Protein backbone atom coordinates (compact mmCIF):
# COMPACT_ATOMS: atom_id res chain seq x y z
CA UNK A 1 0.00 0.00 0.00
CA UNK A 2 2.83 2.40 0.83
CA UNK A 3 4.34 1.77 -2.59
CA UNK A 4 1.02 2.45 -4.33
CA UNK A 5 0.64 5.74 -2.42
CA UNK A 6 4.17 6.74 -3.51
CA UNK A 7 3.38 5.80 -7.13
CA UNK A 8 0.12 7.76 -6.96
CA UNK A 9 1.97 10.90 -5.85
CA UNK A 10 4.67 10.38 -8.48
CA UNK A 11 2.12 9.82 -11.24
CA UNK A 12 0.27 13.02 -10.26
CA UNK A 13 3.54 14.83 -11.01
CA UNK A 14 5.08 12.78 -13.83
CA UNK A 15 2.58 10.20 -15.03
CA UNK A 16 -0.44 9.85 -17.23
CA UNK A 17 -4.10 9.51 -16.33
CA UNK A 18 -3.91 5.91 -17.58
CA UNK A 19 -1.03 5.12 -15.21
CA UNK A 20 -3.01 6.51 -12.28
CA UNK A 21 -6.11 4.54 -13.32
CA UNK A 22 -3.96 1.37 -13.44
CA UNK A 23 -3.44 1.68 -9.67
CA UNK A 24 -7.18 1.11 -9.18
CA UNK A 25 -9.11 -2.16 -9.13
CA UNK A 26 -11.52 -2.66 -12.06
CA UNK A 27 -14.58 -1.96 -9.87
CA UNK A 28 -13.02 0.85 -7.82
CA UNK A 29 -14.83 4.01 -6.75
CA UNK A 30 -13.50 7.56 -6.47
CA UNK A 31 -15.32 10.29 -4.55
CA UNK A 32 -13.25 13.46 -4.97
CA UNK A 33 -14.13 15.49 -3.02
CA UNK A 34 -16.39 13.67 -0.57
CA UNK A 35 -19.95 14.58 -1.56
CA UNK A 36 -19.18 14.72 -5.29
CA UNK A 37 -20.58 12.19 -7.74
CA UNK A 38 -18.84 8.85 -7.38
CA UNK A 39 -16.75 7.79 -10.37
CA UNK A 40 -16.77 4.02 -10.84
CA UNK A 41 -15.50 3.17 -14.33
CA UNK A 42 -11.99 3.24 -15.75
CA UNK A 43 -13.15 5.75 -18.37
CA UNK A 44 -14.41 8.10 -15.64
CA UNK A 45 -11.12 7.76 -13.74
CA UNK A 46 -9.04 8.52 -16.84
CA UNK A 47 -11.24 11.51 -17.63
CA UNK A 48 -10.97 12.79 -14.05
CA UNK A 49 -7.20 12.40 -13.73
CA UNK A 50 -6.66 13.86 -17.22
CA UNK A 51 -7.71 17.21 -15.78
CA UNK A 52 -4.53 17.12 -13.68
CA UNK A 53 -2.18 15.30 -16.08
CA UNK A 54 -3.01 17.70 -18.93
CA UNK A 55 -1.90 20.75 -16.92
CA UNK A 56 1.23 22.62 -18.08
CA UNK A 57 2.59 22.47 -14.53
CA UNK A 58 1.90 19.91 -11.82
CA UNK A 59 3.76 18.95 -8.70
CA UNK A 60 2.50 16.67 -5.94
CA UNK A 61 4.36 16.46 -2.65
CA UNK A 62 3.49 13.89 0.00
CA UNK A 63 3.29 15.45 3.47
CA UNK A 64 2.52 12.32 5.55
CA UNK A 65 0.85 8.91 5.34
CA UNK A 66 -0.63 6.42 7.80
CA UNK A 67 -1.39 2.82 6.91
CA UNK A 68 -3.43 0.31 8.91
CA UNK A 69 -5.12 -2.88 7.77
CA UNK A 70 -6.43 -2.34 4.25
CA UNK A 71 -6.47 1.48 4.48
CA UNK A 72 -4.01 4.25 3.69
CA UNK A 73 -4.65 7.86 4.70
CA UNK A 74 -2.32 10.58 3.48
CA UNK A 75 -2.03 14.32 2.95
CA UNK A 76 -0.30 15.89 0.00
CA UNK A 77 0.04 19.25 -1.66
CA UNK A 78 -0.79 19.55 -5.35
CA UNK A 79 0.29 22.60 -7.32
CA UNK A 80 -1.07 22.87 -10.85
CA UNK A 81 -0.90 25.53 -13.49
CA UNK A 82 -1.94 26.38 -17.01
CA UNK A 83 -2.31 29.56 -19.06
CA UNK A 84 -0.30 31.58 -16.55
CA UNK A 85 -2.55 30.64 -13.60
CA UNK A 86 -1.38 28.47 -10.70
CA UNK A 87 -3.39 26.73 -8.01
CA UNK A 88 -2.58 24.83 -4.83
CA UNK A 89 -4.63 22.38 -2.81
CA UNK A 90 -3.75 20.12 0.12
CA UNK A 91 -6.27 17.27 0.33
CA UNK A 92 -6.32 14.26 2.62
CA UNK A 93 -7.02 11.07 0.67
CA UNK A 94 -8.45 7.88 2.16
CA UNK A 95 -7.71 4.76 0.11
CA UNK A 96 -9.00 1.27 0.82
CA UNK A 97 -7.15 -1.56 -0.94
CA UNK A 98 -8.30 -4.93 -2.20
CA UNK A 99 -6.52 -8.28 -1.68
CA UNK A 100 -4.48 -7.70 -4.87
CA UNK A 101 -3.04 -4.42 -3.59
CA UNK A 102 -5.15 -2.31 -5.93
CA UNK A 103 -7.10 0.74 -4.78
CA UNK A 104 -10.70 -0.36 -4.20
CA UNK A 105 -11.94 3.07 -3.14
CA UNK A 106 -10.58 6.57 -2.75
CA UNK A 107 -12.30 9.44 -0.96
CA UNK A 108 -10.69 12.88 -0.94
CA UNK A 109 -11.26 15.22 1.98
CA UNK A 110 -11.25 18.86 0.84
CA UNK A 111 -13.71 21.60 -0.01
CA UNK A 112 -13.74 24.21 -2.80
CA UNK A 113 -12.46 26.92 -0.44
CA UNK A 114 -9.27 24.86 0.02
CA UNK A 115 -8.25 25.52 -3.59
CA UNK A 116 -5.96 28.54 -3.52
CA UNK A 117 -4.87 30.61 -6.50
CA UNK A 118 -1.15 31.39 -6.32
The catalytic position among 8, 24, 49, 93 is 8
The catalytic position among 22, 24, 27, 32 is 32
Report the C-alpha gap between 55 and 99 in whole angstroms: 33
Known catalytic residue at 8? yes
**Cβ contact 74:66 at 8 Å:** yes
The two beta strands, 71-82 and 24-31, are: unpaired
Known catalytic residue at 49? no
Preceding omega of 59 cis (within 30 degrees of 0): no
| Positions marked active-site | 8, 32
Amino acid sequence: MAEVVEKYIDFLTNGTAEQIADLYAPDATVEDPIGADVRNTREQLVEFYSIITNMDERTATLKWKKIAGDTAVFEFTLVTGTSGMRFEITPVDIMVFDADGKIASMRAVWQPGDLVQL
